[in-house]
Amino acid sequence: MLLDWVTVILLIGIGLLLIVVELIFVPGTTIVGILGFVLTCIGIWISYAALGTTTGHVVLASTVLIGTIAFVYSFRSDSWARFALKNQMRNRVNEEFEYILTIGDIGKTVSALRPQGTAIFAEKRYEVQTQGEFLSANTPVRIIKLSHNKITVEENKLT
């Protein structure tokens, strides 16, 4: 009888914990939530089968009450705030190029452009792209288009 109680409490406890983990940490419906629900149901079923109908009703009601309290506490309290990602990256690539670069500026590739990579213009690094061509590193390039934080270049064959 003691083993039945331990089994029921462990199954329901682990099941509820997995459901809370599913709701808080794992987005969407995954195996974690499904496994938690299944373990909780098995724990309740064992309480009915091994401990009797009256005890099964008490275990079912207790499980629903404890589960509801756990979910409400999890979402309302600040207990999960330390696990939440609060920092936001608001920077963009090449956001300052509009003020410095102009069409026709000459630079040099730092990395190979396949078709995207890095180039230096006015001693600053920028993420650039070609119109589909592949350029090797240390190739002179010229800006042919500037739009929406995108710098389009082509090989500068004049140098």
Tell whether 88 is covered by a domain: no
Tell whether 90 is covered by a domain: no
Q: Which residue has the higher pLDDT, 71 or 106?
A: 106
Do residues 113 and 57 both lie within one domain? no
Q: What is the number of structural domains in the chain?
A: 2
Tell whether 8 is covered by a domain: yes
| Distance between CA atoms of residues 5 and 95, nearest Å | 63
Q: Which residue has the higher pLDDT, 81 or 127?
A: 127
Per cent of the chain over pLDDT 70 is 87
What are the pLDDT digits (tens) for 15-32?
988 988 887 777 777 898
Nearest Cα to Cα of residue 118 among 141, 101, 145: 141
- Among 25, 56, 83, give the residue marking a domain's end: 83
Do residues 79 and 127 both lie within one domain? no
DSSP string, 33-96: HHHHHHHHHHHHHHHHHHH-HHHHHHHHHHHHHHHHHHHHHHHHSSTTGGGS--------TTTT
Do residues 71 and 141 both lie within one domain? no
Do residues 36 and 106 both lie within one domain? no
- Domain CATH code at residue 132: 2.40.50.140
Q: Are 56 and 44 in contact (CB under 8 A)?
A: yes
pLDDT of residue 118: 94
Do residues 104 and 45 both lie within one domain? no
Query: Average pLDDT of the chain?
Result: 86
| Distance between CA atoms of residues 63 and 4, nearest Å | 16
Tell whether 129 is covered by a domain: yes
Instruction: Determine the average pLDDT of the residues in 110-115.
Output: 93
Tell whether 92 is covered by a domain: no
What are the pLDDT digits (tens) for 36-70?
999 999 999 999 999 899 999 999 999 999 888 88
